[in-house]
Amino acid sequence: MLQFFEKNPDASLHFDCIEQDQNAVNYAQELCKNFLPNITFHVKNALRFQSTTKYDLIWSAGLFDYFDDKVFVHLLKKLGSMLEGGGEIVIGNFSTMNPSKSYMEVFEWHLHHRSPNTLKYLAKSAGFTNITIGKEPEGVNLFLHIV
Ligand SMILES: C[S@@+](CC[C@H](N)C(=O)[O-])C[C@H]1O[C@@H](n2cnc3c(N)ncnc32)[C@H](O)[C@@H]1O
């Protein structure tokens, strides 16, 4: 968001952000202090978040890989109910190709690593059909795109 608003300071977009950790929200608010009229922070469990707003873009990074497949599909369906027609959902998830997985687990950072096929399967299970998989340049983090 910060990078977006720095490049597009006159954009008339509004973001709703959901994060359960007040300290993380405080940090984000400080980073984005010049753009706060365009951002609403909700200190909330994402699983309990519900809005009547229909969003053009729903973006989640660093969250769904904490969830098992059942919770993944449940939240994805719920997010779909908050998506504007023609809108897009983007879900980040660590790839099974993550070379640091074992190292992370030494420090008790246990995540559900997923392959492109698993992400597609879970998106289909949530009722979606227009599904593509992207990744960042190193291929460690995958991005499930649903339109
Ligand atoms: C790996 S960090 C990702 C942070 C950020 N989204 C990013 O991509 O840099 C995971 C964040 O998810 C938050 N989190 C975990 N479970 C959550 C939940 N059920 N609802 C809301 N936030 C959650 C944690 O507090 C933490 O700040």
| pLDDT, tens only, 99-135 | 999 999 999 999 999 999 999 999 999 999 999 999 9
Q: 64: how many CB neighbours lie within 10 A of its CB?
A: 22
Question: Which numbered atom of ligand 1 lies nearest the CA of 46?
Answer: 20
Range(s) for CATH 3.40.50.150 in the chain? 53-147
* Residue 96 binned pLDDT confidence (cut-offs 50, 70, 90): very high
- Cβ 45 under 6 angstroms from ligand 1: yes
Q: What does the mean pLDDT of the chain come to? A: 97
Q: Is 2 in the pocket of ligand 1 (CB under 6 A)?
A: no
Locate the ligand 1 atom nearest the alpha carbon of residue 47 and give its number.
19
Average pLDDT over residues 34-57: 96
Kindly state the DSSP code that residue 112 receives in the 8-state scheme.
-
Q: Is 75 in the pocket of ligand 1 (CB under 6 A)?
A: no
| Nearest of 117, 17, 26 to residue 59 by alpha carbon | 17
Give distance in angstroms: CA of 63 to centre of ligand 1: 5
Helix (H) or strand (E) segment spanning residue 141 = strand 141-146
Parallel, antiparallel or unpaired: strands 131-135 and 141-146: antiparallel
- Of residues 64, 79, 86, the one with CA closest to residue 16: 79
Average pLDDT over residues 49-53: 93
As a whole-number percent, the residues of the chain with pLDDT over 70 amount to 100
Residues 23 and 10: their CA atoms lie apart, in Å, by: 28
Output the CATH code of domain 53-147: 3.40.50.150
Q: For residue 114, what is the DSSP state?
A: B
Confidence of residue 21 (pLDDT cuts 50, 70, 90): very high
